[in-house]
Structure 1
C-alpha cells in the first residue's frame, strides 16, 4: 500500500458501508486488490492469525462498500462474514454484538424480489411441471410432496394440466413441508380456487416441521398413490453435521453425512416415482474454510454481477434487500460451523453420488423440456441467461457460469 494510502487509514470501528476513500486505483485494479486482500484475510482467519486478519480487514474497509460497484459490495459482504468468524472466537462478545439482529429485515420480501427479478425459479417451475405432467398424466391417485417451496406459481399450472388428463381429473394430494402456516393458507386458498374451476378433488397435508425432523409417517402416504417429491433450494440444509471444530485453527473433520443418507433412505422406502431437485450449482460444503471461501467468491460474484446488470449501477432498496439476503448466506458459509452451517450447497455431480448410493438413478428430462425452459429464460432482461444440459441435469447459467441445477431421480 502506498504511503498516501497508509496516511488515510480509517478507524476499524467504521462500518464497511461507508464509501471508499479516494485512491489512485481504477475499478479493475481495485477489484484485483480486493480479491487478494480477501484471500489473504481468509487464510489468516483459517490459521488463527488474528493480527494479520485484522490488518487485511482494515485495508479492505478502505476499498469496499455496500453502495459501491459489484466487486466492492461483494467484498464488503465477505469481509463482514470473515469479521463475524473472528469475533465468534469470543462467544460473549459475538452474542452481545448480534443480540438485537437486523431490525426490519424481511426475508419473505427478499425472496419475492429474487423470484420476480430473475428467471431462476420460473425455470425450475417450468421444468418441474413439464416433468411431473409427463410422468403422472393418467394416474388416478397422485401425491406430490413439496419440500419447502409452497409457491402457487409452481402448483397452479400443474393442476390445470392434470385436469385435462385422458381419464379426467385425478385425485390429488399435496403435502407441504417446512413452510409457514401463513404461506400454507395462501397456497390452499389459491389452489382450492383452481380446483373448483378444474373440478378436481384436492387434499392437503401440511407438515410444519424442519426437514431434519420429518418422518415418513408425517407424509401420510396411502396405498395406491403415485408419489413424487420436489425440493427447491431446500435439501442442502440436511448436509449440516455436528462437526468437530478446532477452536484455534478452524479445521473440521466430517464423516459421511448420516442425516442426508437416512433422509434419502426414508424417501426411497416410500417408493416415489420421481424426486425432483433444484439446487445451487456450487460447492460450499468443504470442511476447509479456504476451499469454500474461494468457491463462494466465484459463485456470489456471478450473482452480484447479475444484480448489477438487472438493477443498474444506482443503489435501490430492492437491490439492498436482495444483497442482504445473499450476505446472510455468505456469513453462514464463512462464519459458521457444525449444525449452524446450513448453506452447504453442492454441485450436481456430488448430488449424483449421494442419490446413486441411496438407490436412485438419474431420469433423463424429456427432450422438449429444455426448449420450454429456454423460452422462459430468454424472456427475461437483462440478456445473458442461458440453459445447458449436463449428464441428465438442466442448468441455468449467467453467461458461461452455471448458477442453479435441476435434476430428476427415480428408483433403480
Structure 2
C-alpha cells in the first residue's frame, strides 16, 4: 500500500520544563469511592439559569471544605450539583442566552480552585473549557493574532513532558505498562533479533522494566541485538531517556541499540516511518500509548493497488497509519488508549460530551489526590494544568479538525484494527500475577476493595486498567492477520 499524503505538518514547540526520569514512583494509595455517572434530573430552560445556578453554587460551596484531608472521597452529591450548573451553562450556550451562560460560569467559578480538592480543581478546568467555548462566537471581531492565541493548544512537547509526570504520579499507566511488558516478553520467546518501537507516550521506566524482564527470562536477553526506537518531539526527553536506558542496559549486560527519533505522531510522514529503522528479519514490537486517537480527527486519501488496478480511498489518518504499521509486519502491536467515549455520535450532543468527560477526569484528578501527591506540588500542577486541563479544554471547547483528543473505547478500536489487517494476539500472560500483585499493593489497606485492578480478557487479547470499578485505560494486543493487505 502506498502511504500517499498521509500526514500534514503541525506546529512544534520547545518545553521549558526539566524532566527528572529518576524520580521515585509512589506506590501507596488510600481508599477511593467509585464515581457515579448518573445524570442530574434537570430539564429547566436556559432562562431559569440564574436562580438554578445560584442555588446550586450555594449548595456546592456548603459541601466543599477547602484544604480538606487528602484522603477525601469524591462527593457524589457535589458532582451532581456541579453537573447541574454545567448542564444549564451548555443549554444556555446552545440557546444563545449569553446572560444565562455567564451566570452559570460565574457560579462555577465560585466553587473552583486551582489548589483545592479534586472536584474544585476539576471544576476549574471545566469552567475554563466552557468559557472558551462560550467565547468562540465573540472571536469574529477580534484581531487574527488574538483569536489564534486563544484557539491554539500548547505545543505537543509540553504535553509530552506533563504525560511523563502523569506516569510518575499516577499508578494507572504503570500497571498498564507492566502488563504490556509481560505480553511483549511472552511474544518474544526465543527471539534473538528484537526491535521495540515506541511511537510515543510511554514512560522510559516501562522500557527499563522491559530490559529487566528480558534479562531475567530463561534464555537471557537477546544475544544478537535488542534495538529500541523511541519517538518524541522533546529533545531533552530523548536525551534523558537515552541516558537512563543506556545505564540500565550496561548494568544488566544487555546489548541495547537506541534509536531516538525526533517527531510527534501529529507530524508522522513517510520519512518518519523510514526513520523507525524497521528491517526484515527482526522480531518487531510496536507500542502506541495514548497516541493514535489524535489522528481520528483528520482524513486523508490513500492509494491502493490491487489486481493491477489502482483506486483511492478516503480514511482517517489513524486508519492510514495502522495500514502502514501492518505493512511493517510486527510480531506484536500494543495499543493503549483511554477507555472513554468523548465524541459526538448518534443522539449525542455537547452535554453528553461534557457529562462523560467530567466523570472520567474526576477519577484521574482524584487518583492524584489519593496517591498522596501534595496539593501544592509543582509536579501535580504540571500534570493537571498542562495535560489533563488541556485535554478537557480540547474535548469541550474545540470542534472539527481542531479537536485532537478523540477518545474511543476499545469496542470502537476493534473494527478499526480489523479493517487495517490486524487480528487479536492471544498472547499468554505468564507474568500477569506480578501485575495483579502491583495492583494489590496500590489498593486500600484492608484489601476488601481494590483501588486499582487489571482485568484480563484472554480470549480477546486485551485487558483493562480500573480505578476502583471504573475502567480507565484499555491495552489491546494485535498481530497481522494472514492474507493480502496491500
Q: TM-score scaled to structure 1, two decimals?
A: 0.81
Per the TM alignment, residue 41 of structure 1 is displaced from its structure 2 partner at its CA by 1.5
In 2: Cα distance, 1:318 partner to 1:146 partner: 24
User: Which residue of structure 1 lines up, in the alignment, with residue 224 of structure 2?
Assistant: 170
CA shift, 1:116, in A, is 2.6
Q: What residue in structure 2 maps to residue 221 of structure 1? A: 278
Q: What residue number does 1:144 align with?
A: 196
Distance 1:71 1:180, change over 3 A: closer
- Coordinate RMSD, CA, aligned: 3.4
Corresponding residue number in structure 2 for 1:116: 168
- Aligned counterpart, 1:265: 323
Write the distance in 2 (CA, Å) between the matches of 1:166 and 1:24.
61
Change (3 A) 1:386 1:93: farther
Q: Does 1:398 align with 2:456?
A: no
Alignment of 1:220-299 (within 5 A): 220-241=277-298, 257-286=315-344, 288-299=349-360
Match of 1:60 in 2: 108
Deviation, 1:332, is 0.7
Range moving further from structure 2, 370-379 or 264-273: 370-379
SS in 2 for 1:396: strand
CA contact 1:238–1:260 (8 Å) conserved in 2 = yes
- Using the TM superposition, give the Cα deviation of residue 359 of structure 1 relative to its aligned residue in structure 2, in angstroms: 1.4
Residue equivalent to 2:127: 79
| Cα distance change of structure 1 residues 76 and 160 upon mapping to structure 2, 3 Å threshold | closer
Structure 1 CA distance for aligned equivalents of residues 443 and 416 of structure 2 = 35
From the superposition, tell whether residues 48 and 359 of structure 1 become closer, same or farther in structure 2 (CA, over 3 Å).
Answer: farther
Paired position in structure 2 for 1:33? 81
Structure 1 residue 346: deviation in Å?
0.9
For the residues of structure 1 that align with 2:186 and 2:60, how far apart are their CA atoms?
59
- Aligned-pair distance for 1:57? 1.4
Q: Which residue is equivalent to 1:407?
A: 476
In 1, distance between residues paired with 2:469 and 2:144? 39
User: 61-70 vs 24-33, which deviates more?
Assistant: 24-33
Closer, same or farther: CA 395–134 of 1 in aligned 2, 3 Å: same
Q: How does 1:10-49 map to 2 (within 5 A)?
A: 25-27=62-64, 30-46=78-94, 48-49=96-97
- What is the aligned counterpart of 1:340 among 398, 402, 407? 402
Q: Are residue 96 (structure 1) and residue 163 (structure 2) matched? A: no
CA contact (8 A) 2:130 2:396 kept: yes
When residues 44 and 354 of structure 1 are mapped into structure 2, their CA distance, relative to the original with a 3 A threshold, is farther
Q: Which moved more, 1:48-57 or 1:232-241?
A: 48-57
Q: Can you list the C-alpha shifts for 1:230-288, whole angstroms capped at 9, x where unaligned?
A: 01112211112279xxxxxxxxxxx9852111111101111111100111110123264
Determine if contact 1:370/1:387 at 8 Å carries over to the other structure: no
> Offset at 1:155?
1.8
CA distance in 2, matches of 1:69, 1:162: 42
Between the two structures, name the one with larger relative contact order (CA 8 Å, sep ≥ 6).
Answer: 2
Higher mean C-alpha displacement, 333-342 vs 147-156: 147-156
Gaps of 5+ in 1: 10-19, 244-254
* C-alpha distance 190-117 of structure 1, shift in aligned 2 (>3 A): closer
Indicate the SS of the match to 2:430.
Answer: helix
Q: Which is further off, 333-342 or 373-382?
A: 373-382
Q: Which runs of 4+ in 1 moved over 6 A?
A: 20-24, 100-103
Aligned-residue offset at 1:338? 2.7
Residue 190 of structure 1 aligns with which residue? Answer: 244
Partner residue, 1:251: none
1:351 aligns to what SS in structure 2?
helix
1-structure distance, mates of 2:354, 2:102: 17
Task: Say which of 346, 355, 366 aligns to 1:305.
Answer: 366
Matched, 1:132 2:184: yes
Deviations for 1:345-394, whole angstroms, at most 9, x for unmatched residues? 11111111210111111123424343221111222265611222344321
Q: Distance in 2 between matches of 1:407 and 1:329?
A: 23
* 1:88 match: secondary structure: helix
1:352 to 399, 414, 418: 414
Q: Which runs of 5+ in 2 are unaligned?
A: 1-43, 45-49, 65-74, 301-312, 445-449, 482-486
State the 1:225 CA deviation: 1.2
Cα deviation 1:306-357 (Å, max 9, x = unaligned): 2332338965544433321311110011111233211111111111121011
CA distance in 2, matches of 1:363, 1:33: 44
CA distance in structure 1 between the aligned counterparts of 2:241 and 2:115, rounded to whole angstroms: 36
Q: Could you tell me how far 1:120 is from its partner in structure 2?
A: 1.7
Q: Is the 8 A contact 1:348 1:393 kept in 2?
A: no
In 2, Cα distance between equivalents of 1:33 and 1:115 = 31
Q: Structure 1: how far apart are the matches of 2:92 and 2:384?
A: 26
| Alignment size in residue pairs | 386
Distance 1:295 1:343 in 2: 14
Report the CA distance shift for 1:58/1:188 in structure 2 as closer, same or farther (over 3 A): closer
